[in-house]
Every structure is written in C-alpha cells, then in structure tokens.
C-alpha cells in the first residue's frame, strides 16, 4: 500500500486537478450522497474506511452508568478502562478520517487546513537533522496537539496521548499516556479481534475480514506517518506538481523537505522569501485555477472556492511559522524588511500568516507574547481582516 499515491489522489479529487489517477491498491475514492468523497475498499459495497468501526462503538460511558462493562480488548490490555477505550476509538476515527474529503462550511475550512498541514508535517519531520532533536520534539508535540484539536476531538482525547522516545534515535512512539499502552499495539489488536470474530459481529459490520485487515494495514501506515517514521518516500504524503506552474514546483520542493527549507533560510533567507513572494504575486483569481470541489457550505450557499495554488501558498506559510517563527518569533522582522519595497504584497503575506490559521496565536501564548502591545511593527502590516481578528485599532 502506497500512502504517497493515496494522499496525492486525495488532493487530485479535492481540487479537481485533472491529473492521471494513481493505483491505490485495495482502496478507491468515491462520491457519497452528502457531497463528501470517501475512501472505500475496492469492489465492496460496505462502509467507507473512516466509518467502518463506528457501529461497533459501545455506549458513551460519560452518559449513564457503565456499570461493570469492560472494554472489548480487556483481556489483551487489562490496564485500560471504558473511558480509555473511548478515547482510543476517537483517535482511530480521527486518524482514518485524515484521508476523507467531507463537506466543509467556510467556518470549518481553517480546521481542515490545520489538521492536514499537521499530518503532512509530522510525516516528514524526520527530514530535520539530528542536531535539531530538541526542535523536532517541540514541533512534534505542537503539531500533534493541533492535529487532534482541528479534527476536532473532545478534551479528554486531546489530552490522552503523547509521544514516547527521543527524536535523535528516530523512535517516537505514540502511546496512551496514563496506561502506557502503545497505540500501534492497540490498533493492531483491535483489527485482528474483529477480523477473527467477524461472524459474531456481522450484523454491525459491513466489511469482510480481509477488508478489515486491509483497513488495519492502512491505519498503521497512517500511524507511521503520524509518528514520523515512514521507512520510504512512498510511505510519506506527497504534494502533486502541476505542469506549467514553476512557482508551485519551487514551493513544493521546500515543503517536502523542512530540512531543506531551514538550510535555505539559514544560508540567506532571501531565497525562501523570493519563493514565497512569487507564489503570492502569481496567486490566481478564483476563475483562473482549479477550484476545491468538496467544500460545500452546510447552509446551501455556493461551494467554498479555494485553489490548489492557494493551498500550497498556505502550506509554505505554515512551514515558515512552524520551522522558523516557532523557534524565534523575531525572525518576522526579516520577512517584513524583505517585502518593504512591495507594501501590498507584504500586507498580503503578513496578514495570511496571522489570520488564516491559529498556529501563531497558540505559539505566542506559549511564549507570553502580546502581539498587539509588543509588536506594533507587525500589526501595522495587517489588512482589515487580520486587524479585526486580533483586535487591532486603526
């Protein structure tokens, strides 16, 4: 199974790129009645990948008395209780839904962008050199929090998991923090349990045993990415390139390798800023580029229109936030100085950095920085939307 192909195909569908379809092995994308595009086992007529297990979930233990009920895998993991089982179920759904293309209202577009960026960057975090181990650990925790928060999950699930192991050794393992149970071990046992006992649950299962095993293999591949331990390039998510768009190629090259972005930035910074500037200078109008086809507003309004070009521009800015400003926020002054000769372009880039996601809001809170009071040179570059979002008075 090839995560590179699966992720590229997801983007091909999301933005209607018109690229040749890739071989996705045991899975294929298909449209659903609600306007979503979901991943299904090839040739099957059962539920889609993200949803196959939800009918098996026990009643929510937070409502009513769970009594003496024990988790389904209590023999294998006796240290887990029913509340632990619930957050593991939620994590499984969150992980599998990474490959879904649900209908999105404009209000959910930011969450979708942050979850997808966090997943993509976590998968390629190993590209940071070993001497950046401390930075890697800090960034991993930051991105994983956003990956869950942006899905979104409940508060219990948000705080239930952590990484065990040091980045320098390349062995970061996701665990259920309180019990120490390996998420990988739990997910493997979970799929084996239902595949081996299929007949006992067939009234609630729409997938056969081999399809459940295929889902389990894909879940573990996604978990490999989340833990930043893909063994080959084909196990990493990939951004497809488009013929005739060299400004995208340059940005995608930097995004695919955060180590490369840091190297370029350390050597002189201007090369990264120039790629960023060309990307925003050539940003197309909504009529010029392929449009996002799956973001259908829940209120029946027209679909949210977002191009692949804008998506790549956003990812490059998110990389600048997470690989540069996450470490030293004062680097923002170098960006402002570089674009000073082009004030309109500077306003566009700076406003996007601070208003399109909340990555910076969280990082500034962690550092105890009051942006409006402490950095008036930055807020002076804001457009009206960014000023409104940050409460900046004219």
Question: DSSP secondary structure string, 3-59?
Answer: HHHHHHHHHHHHTT--PPPPP-TTEEEEE-TTS-EEEEETT--S--GGGTTGGGPPP
- One domain, residues 74 and 190: yes
Cis amide bond preceding 152, omega within 30:
yes
Tell me whether residue 43 is in a domain.
yes
- Burial-class residue 138 by CB neighbours within 10 Å (0-12, 13-18, 19+): middle
- One domain, residues 56 and 177: yes
- Look at the block and give the residue holding tokens 């340059």: 250
- One domain, residues 204 and 181: yes
SS3 at position 147: helix
Helices (H) and strands (E) in the chain, counts: 17, 5
Comparing C-alpha atoms, which of 39, 69, 43, 71 is closest to residue 52? 39
The range of the structural domain enclosing residue 382 comes to 246-390
Residues of the chain with pLDDT under 70: 65, 129-131, 166-171, 284-306
CA distance 283 to 235: 30
CA distance 102 to 311: 17
pLDDT (tens digit per residue) in 1-51: 889 999 999 999 999 999 999 889 999 999 999 999 999 999 878 899 999
Tell me whether residue 16 is in a domain.
yes
pLDDT for the residue numbered 255:
94
pTM, 2 dp: 0.91
pLDDT for the residue numbered 290:
39
Partner residues linked to 175 by β-bridges: 162, 182
- One domain, residues 351 and 315: yes
Q: How many residues are recorded in the chain?
A: 394
CA distance 27 to 207: 13
CA distance 303 to 300: 8
Tell me whether residue 116 is in a domain.
no
Domain stop point among 198, 216, 235: 235
Which tokens sit at 13? 């569908």
Domain stop point among 191, 212, 235: 235
- One domain, residues 182 and 308: no
CA distance 214 to 28: 12
CA 300 and chain centroid, separation: 26
Tell me whether residue 121 is in a domain.
no
Separation in Å, CA 118 to CA 113, 123, 359: 9, 9, 10
- One domain, residues 104 and 189: yes
pLDDT for the residue numbered 134:
78
CA distance 386 to 363: 17
Which tokens sit at 17? 């790129």
């Amino acid at each position: 199974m090839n995560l590179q192909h699966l992720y590229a195909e997801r983007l091909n569908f999301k933005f209607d790129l018109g690229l040749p379809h890739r071989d996705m092995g045991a899975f294929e994308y298909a449209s659903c009645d609600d306007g979503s595009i979901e991943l299904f086992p090839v040739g099957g007529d059962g539920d889609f990948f993200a949803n196959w297990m939800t009918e098996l979930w026990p009643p929510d233990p937070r409502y009513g008395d769970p009594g003496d009920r024990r988790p389904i895998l209590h023999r294998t993991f006796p240290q887990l209780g029913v509340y632990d089982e619930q957050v593991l179920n939620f994590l499984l759904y969150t992980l599998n839904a990474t490959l879904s293309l649900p209908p999105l209202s404009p209000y959910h577009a930011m969450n979708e962008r942050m979850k997808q960026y966090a997943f993509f960057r976590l998968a390629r975090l190993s590209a940071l050199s070993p001497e950046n181990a401390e930075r890697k650990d800090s960034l991993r925790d930051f991105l994983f929090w956003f990956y869950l928060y942006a899905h979104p999950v409940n508060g219990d699930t948000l705080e239930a998991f952590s990484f065990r192991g040091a980045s320098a050794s390349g062995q970061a393992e996701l665990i259920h923090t309180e019990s120490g149970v390996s998420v990988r071990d739990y997910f493997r046992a979970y799929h084996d349990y239902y595949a081996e006992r299929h007949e006992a649950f067939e009234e609630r299962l729409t997938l056969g045993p081999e399809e459940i095993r295929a889902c389990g293999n894909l879940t573990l591949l996604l978990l490999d990415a989340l833990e930043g331990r893909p063994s080959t390039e084909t196990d990493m998510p990939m951004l497809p390139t488009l013929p005739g768009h060299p400004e995208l190629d340059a940005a995608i090259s930097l995004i695919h390798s955060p180590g490369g972005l840091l190297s370029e930035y350390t050597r002189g910074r201007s090369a990264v800023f120039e790629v960023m500037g060309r990307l925003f200078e050539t940003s197309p109008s909504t009529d010029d580029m392929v449009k996002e086809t799956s973001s259908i507003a829940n209120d029946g309004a027209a679909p949210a229109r977002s191009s692949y070009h804008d998506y790549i521009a956003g990812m490059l800015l998110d990389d600048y936030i997470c690989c540069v400003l996450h470490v030293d926020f004062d680097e923002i002054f170098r960006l402002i100085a570089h674009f000073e000769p082009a004030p309109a372009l500077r306003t566009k880039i700076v406003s996007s950095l601070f208003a399109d996601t909340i990555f910076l809001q969280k990082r500034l809170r962690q550092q105890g920085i009051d942006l409006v009071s402490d950095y008036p040179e930055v807020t002076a570059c804001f457009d009206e939307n960014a000023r409104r979002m940050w409460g900046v008075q004219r």
